[in-house]
Structure 1
Amino acid sequence: MSEPDNLALGQLRLMDGKLDDLRERVEHLETRMTAQEQHLASLVVSPPRAFDQLQSLRARIDRIEQRLELIEPE
């Protein structure tokens, strides 16, 4: 009876090792997925912010041109 018990125990240990490997791989994939989600979120936020910055720069250029009398005041 000892031999089948050892065989079953060996198989269980082998399966446990494989499960540990899978767990590590899933954790690694979760980390990578989180990084991808954060990157994608930053891309979604970037265009409106860039537009606001361009509007601000345009207003500054308009004020500078008016001070230098390069354009007529509005």
Structure 2
Amino acid sequence: MTYDDEGRINYEYEGWSVKISPEQLFAEGQTGYSEAVNFSGDDTRMMALQFSRDENGVITGRVIKLK
């Protein structure tokens, strides 16, 4: 996970790329998991991407393989 010049999160995993602003994921001061989840998939696999933010402001992304 990296950030671009506009402060957006750039998350890449196995050819799946997501760019999103942290403000779209978290309310000001919010910690824990974001309510927004991104999904990607086809006939052979389905994945969900979820972000969390800790009390230090560190944002972590995780991919959940659903299929």
TM-score, normalised relative to structure 2: 0.15
Q: Counting helix residues as a fraction of each chain, which structure ranks higher?
A: 1
TM-score, normalised relative to structure 1: 0.14
Q: Which has the higher contact order (CA 8 A, sep 6+)?
A: 2
Structure of greater Rg: 1
